[in-house]
Amino acid sequence: MKTFAEATAVHGGDGVYQAELDPQWAIGDKLHGGYLMAILCRAVAGDAALAHLVAVTTTFLRPPKAGPATVRVELLRAGRTSGQFRARLEQDGTSCAEALVTQGELDESAAFWSSATTPEMTAEDDCVLLPSNPPGAQFPVHLLDVVEHRISPADLGFALGQPSQSGRIASWLRLADGADWDPLSMLVALDPAPPISLTLGITGWAPTITLTAYLRRLPAPGPLRVTMHSTEILGGRMDEVVFVWDAKDNLVAQATQLAGVRH
């Protein structure tokens, strides 16, 4: 089984990078959106003068398959404190996803100002590790073999046919390869499976239309706490809002996505 770093490796330079999409980072046969964003952004980092991913919006066009893929990166503007890029994931000559990326520098400094409150969560040891192939599942969630996902028992009703109806999920996440989280791997935490709609009894896939992530800080070693909620579901679309905290109680990343949903 590949580590996250191996599974998101890119080779190339000057705007053209080759990647090998790994079937392990998938829900059923669909490669995970956060995993694909990490590959896009690793390619951007190869072209960038500044070290860290700060913001990315990815619009998903067609689901790619596991196997070879190409990332094309174009510099839109190089500034002193940020660089802006467009990146495109292609497979067999077809565009699968397109991203706008801001690269900059992150550190571990304290907030100048914050209204964020660290979530009150069930202790990690008292949460339930989600299995990749639970009894009765329609398809295996291979992703759960590479991302350890522990979920609060209060949010677990969906797995027992008793959805909480809360529109909220709180989880502890660790990379199964033992690596510490970094800005690129946090993209996986920012597009968490399962989707919020499961807590409302909607069992179908909720394909991401577009996902926007902001990386705010370098995370401390240790597990991440991830809270996810939806504001509103209507017209076949759902928003999902995610906040990620590190082991030092700092907000390290946030994301918003619009997903399709059959309600």
Which positions lie near a second copy, rule CB under 8 A? Answer: 54-55, 57, 59, 61-62, 76-77, 81-82, 84, 86, 95, 98, 100, 102, 104-107, 109-116, 167, 200, 209-210, 212, 214, 216-217, 229-237, 239, 243, 251, 254, 256, 258, 260, 263
CB of 183 to a second copy, least distance (A): 13
Alpha-carbon distance of 72 to 50, in angstroms, equals 18
Residue closer to a second copy (CB basis): 80 or 160: 80
Structure tokens, 233? 């579901």
CB of 154 to a second copy, least distance (A): 16
**Overall residue count recorded for the chain in this entry:** 263
CB of 177 to a second copy, least distance (A): 28
Residue closer to a second copy (CB basis): 181 or 243: 243
Residue closer to a second copy (CB basis): 81 or 138: 81
CB of 146 to a second copy, least distance (A): 28
CB of 32 to a second copy, least distance (A): 20
> Which residue in this structure is represented by tokens 């590949």?
2
CB of 61 to a second copy, least distance (A): 4
Alpha-carbon distance of 225 to 121, in angstroms, equals 8
Residue closer to a second copy (CB basis): 136 or 235: 235
Residue closer to a second copy (CB basis): 128 or 214: 214
Residue closer to a second copy (CB basis): 175 or 213: 213
Amino acid identity, residue 184? L
Alpha-carbon distance of 34 to 218, in angstroms, equals 18
Structure tokens, 221? 């070693």
Q: Quickly list DSSP for 78-106.
A: E-SS-EEEEEEEEETTEEEEEEEEEEE--
CB 225 within 8 A of CB 170: yes
Cβ-Cβ contacts under 8 Å for 154 (sequence gap 6 or more): 122, 164
Residue closer to a second copy (CB basis): 3 or 166: 166
- Our CA angle for 27, 206, 241, nearest 5°, is 105
CB of 54 to a second copy, least distance (A): 7
131-145 residues labelled b (16+ CB within 10 A) or e (exposed): ebeeeeeeebbbbbe
Can you say how many angstroms the Cα of residue 235 is from the centroid of all Cα atoms in its chain?
A: 24
